[in-house]
Every structure is written in structure tokens, then in C-alpha cells.
Chain A
Amino acid sequence: MEQNRLSERLIRQREENMKCRHAKKLISWYVDDELSPDEKKDFDFHIQECATCREELEETQALLRIFASAERFSAPFGFTTRVLGNLGEKEGSPLRGLLAVKPFFLRSAQVAFALVVITIGIISGNLLLAERTDTIGQAAVVQAVFSLDLFQATPPDSIGGIYSTLMRPSHES
């Protein structure tokens, strides 16, 4: 008789423990309003009866209030500028970026375009040089026409001319 009463008490105790264990699992979902109506009804009933679980529920609710009162941080001033700056540094020059990410056909097109630009540059450079050579030739003729060499400081039939002819090194020897 006494043994039966003891085992009955043990069973009841175990059932109670099971309820608490289950209730403790549900606390977090209860505060987030994630329980079904039936689960919520059972939980509310258990909380009214069980002081331990009620205390844990209150502590969890207090924990949520602490989270709510904690500061929400904003990104520091100039954050965007720094990110964009870093992006610029890491990605290299814009030309490198253009060449880096394109598919093969687009890169081929870019190379072909670069070759055309270089060829045009070479041809136009040669043309310009040829024009410049003509200009230089004309300038040489003009320079020759107006050269001071046309004017002799001491013509041969003048006194100065005779003197300079006499003073040449060949006559000295």
C-alpha cells in the first residue's frame, strides 16, 4: 500500500517534470507569439500553476526588454565614401575593369578597335609628316633666296676685295 502511494507520487512528479520541460521549450516561441492556439492555452494554464516556469518566462521577457533598449548603431560618417574609395583601389583603373569582366567576343572587339585606332594613328602621322617635309623644303628655298650669302661684304673689284685676295693664306706661302 505504502509502496503504491510512493510510486504514484513518483509518476505524478515525473509527469510534472515533463510538463515543465516541455513548457520551458515553448517559452521562446510563446514570447514571439509563434504557438498555435491550443499550445498557447496549455502553456497559459501551466504558467499559472508553475512558479518556476513563470519565473523563467518573466526573465525571458525581461531579456527581450534589454535587447529592445540596447543601442542601434549607425554606420560611421563617410562610410560610403570609404567603401567606394576601396572599391576604386581594389578594382584598379577603369580601363582594367573594362577589359577584365567582358566576355571573349567583346574583348576581341575591343582589341580590334584598338588596332584600328593605332593604324589610323600611324597613317595620319605619316601624312602629317609628309606635309611638314614639304613645308620644310619651301622654307629652305625662301631661306636660300633671302640668304645673306647673296650679299658680298667685299666685292672682288673693290679695295676691300683686292685686300682680302692679297691676304689669303695661299699668297702668304
Chain B
Amino acid sequence: MRKYQDRVYNFCRYMLQNPEDAQDAAQDVFMKAYRGSKDFRPDSSTYTWIYRIAVTTCLDYKRKSRRERFRREPLPEDLPSDEPYPDQLYESKESTEAVQVAFQNLPEKLRAAIVLREMEGLSYEEIARVLHTSMGTVKSRISRAREQLRHLLKKMKAG
């Protein structure tokens, strides 16, 4: 379990944003994995299987959680078109916060795909296996997520 716990926790943290929910969700993931270990199929890797549980757990958590402290951050409506892109302006801590807030503003399916890709470093193929979908769908989701995040971060920095 120690082998997977950091990656699962990191995934939950970016999916759910606040540490308490992330910890509860990560614990649920391992409880479900323990109980469902008889359903594990050797054709999929353990990571794929664990991430699959983590995705469904986080999405359920997000829907049910009443303790969500960081709701969708209000974003400024108007953005000057010549605003410079906030590249080097972000320090690590700022990056973390900005990315977390931006992720919360994405639709669920796009969020799961982009967190798996950018924060967990999974390949398109691995993401397709985790999300039970095609490579084409994964490529499309990641592309759309990046597009939306690009605009969101731009707005956040401008605001």
C-alpha cells in the first residue's frame, strides 16, 4: 500500500482540492481496493486498477461532499486581450494553488483526464485504460482541458 499511497493521495488532492477530503477519499480508495481485491484482473496493471477506483471515488466524493470549502472561485469576466501570459510569475506554491483552483473549474471528465496526465504523468493509453474510454476521447479531453485551463489561469492572473 505504501507504494501507491502518495500517488493516490496526490491525485485525490488535485481532484478534490482540500486536504481533509483528499485524505478521506484516498483512505476510501484503499478500503475499496482491499474489499474488491478479488475483482482485480491481472490483465490490467495495479496502478491502472487503483487509479480507476480513485477516479470513481473522487467523482462520488465531489458530488456528495458537503464539506467543500473551496467552491468554484469567481473569475473576472473581462480580460484585456494584451495581458501577458503568467508564465514565470508563478512560484511553486502559487502554481500549486493556481492549478488546484483552475482544476476545480473544469468539468469532471476533463479534470480526471488532465490530473492523470499532468500531475500523475500517465500516458494517453494508460489514461484510456483508467477511464474506460478510447485514446481519441482522451486526446480530445486533454486538449479541451488545456485550452480551458489556459484561459482560466489567464483570467485568474489578470483578476
Interface residues of A (CB under 8 A from B): 25, 27-29, 32, 34, 56, 58-60, 62-67, 69-76, 79-80, 82-83, 86-87, 90
Q: How far is the CA of A69 from the CA of B95 in the complex (A)?
A: 7
11 contacts between A and B (CB under 8 A): A58-B85, A62-B85, A63-B150, A67-B118, A69-B92, A69-B95, A70-B119, A72-B6, A82-B27, A86-B27, A87-B34
Contact of A75 among B5, B93, B142, B150 (CB under 8 A): B5
Asked if residues A71 and B96 are in contact (CB atoms below 8 Å), the reply is yes
Q: How far is the CA of A63 from the CA of B145 in the complex (A)?
A: 11
Total interface residues in chain B, CB < 8 Å: 39
1/0 per residue, CB under 8 A from A, across B1-18: the answer is 110011011100100000
Query: Given A60-B146, A79-B9, A83-B30, A70 and B85 touching (CB < 8 A)?
Result: no
Q: Is B98 an interface residue (CB 8 A)?
A: yes
Asked if residues A66 and B95 are in contact (CB atoms below 8 Å), the reply is yes
Chain B 73-103 residues near chain A, CB threshold 8 A? 85-87, 90-93, 95-96, 98-99
Asked if residues B23 and A79 are in contact (CB atoms below 8 Å), the reply is yes
Asked if residues A75 and B26 are in contact (CB atoms below 8 Å), the reply is yes
With a CB–CB cut-off of 8 A, which chain A residues contact B153?
63, 66
Interface residues of chain B: helix, strand, loop or mixed (majority): helix
Chain B 117-159 residues near chain A, CB threshold 8 A? 118-119, 124, 139, 142-143, 146-147, 149-150, 153-154
Q: How far is the CA of A56 from the CA of B30 in the complex (A)?
A: 40
Interface residues of B (CB under 8 A from A): 1-2, 5-6, 8-10, 13, 19, 22-23, 26-27, 30-31, 34, 85-87, 90-93, 95-96, 98-99, 118-119, 124, 139, 142-143, 146-147, 149-150, 153-154
Nearest CB to that of A85 among chain B residues? B27
> How many A-B residue contacts, CB cutoff 8 Å?
92
CB distance from B108 to the nearest CB of A (A): 19
With a CB–CB cut-off of 8 A, which chain B residues contact A75?
5-6, 8-9, 23, 26
Query: Given A66-B99, A70-B95, A80 and B118 touching (CB < 8 A)?
Result: no
Among A56, A62, A71, find the residue whose CB has the most chain B CB atoms closer than 10 A. A71
